[in-house]
Amino acid sequence: MSHRFALPFRFADFDQAGIVYYPRFLHFCHVGMEEYFAAVVGVPYSELVSLHRLGLPAVKTEVEHRRPIRYGDRIELEVAVRRVGSSSVEWSFAFHAVLEEERPRCEARVVTVLVDMDGFEKRSLPDWLRERLPPRAAGDLAPSAVD
């Protein structure tokens, strides 16, 4: 299962070359993960952190830039869970230009590990969360071996 939504880029997201400043892509990956939690998991990520005292910090990131995104481009971000381990979740992110048939302009893979927010210690995914993170069939990105 994936979740796709309009992702508004703002003037401050662009560098002097007129393209998205590359660190912003990781910021938008986290935004995408938060959107996924609200739309698919049914629990806002802020609630996971504040009420359940759990977090999913990134431990591995990979970004492939294919074509630049320029100011004014209309972009949609597609977020999917690629793999669920005992304590990790591997996410995929695809930045699609609206109305283009080509491959995404940018793709990213982020591996997160569940931690207890009080001690920042790694812990296993609880069953209720594992059930709400359905993996999508793996594509061309190889799975990670974090667990």
Q: What is the pLDDT of residues 109-120, one digit of tens each?
A: 999 999 999 999
Q: What is the pLDDT of residue 138?
A: 46
Report how far residue 72's alpha carbon sits from residue 89's, in angstroms, rounded to the nearest whole number: 32
Residue 143 has pLDDT above 60, yes or no: no
Q: What is the pLDDT of residue 1?
A: 82
Specify the pTM. Answer: 0.89
Neighbour count for residue 125 (Cβ, 10 Å): 20
Q: What is the pLDDT of residue 62?
A: 98
CA 54, 59, 29, 79 torsion-angle sign: negative
Under CATH, what is the fold of the domain 2-131? Answer: Thiol Ester Dehydrase; Chain A (3.10.129)
Domain boundaries, the chain: 2-131
Strands laid side by side in the 115-116 sheet = 54-55, 115-116, 121-122
Alpha carbons within 13 A on the beta-carbon side of 71: 10
Give the DSSP H/E element, type plus range, for residue 46. Answer: helix 45-50
Residue 24 has pLDDT above 80, yes or no: yes
Q: Are 29 and 110 in contact (CB under 8 A)?
A: yes
The mean predicted confidence, pLDDT, of the chain is: 92
Residue 77 has pLDDT above 60, yes or no: yes
Alpha-carbon torsion, ordered 48, 25, 100, 39, to 10 deg: 10
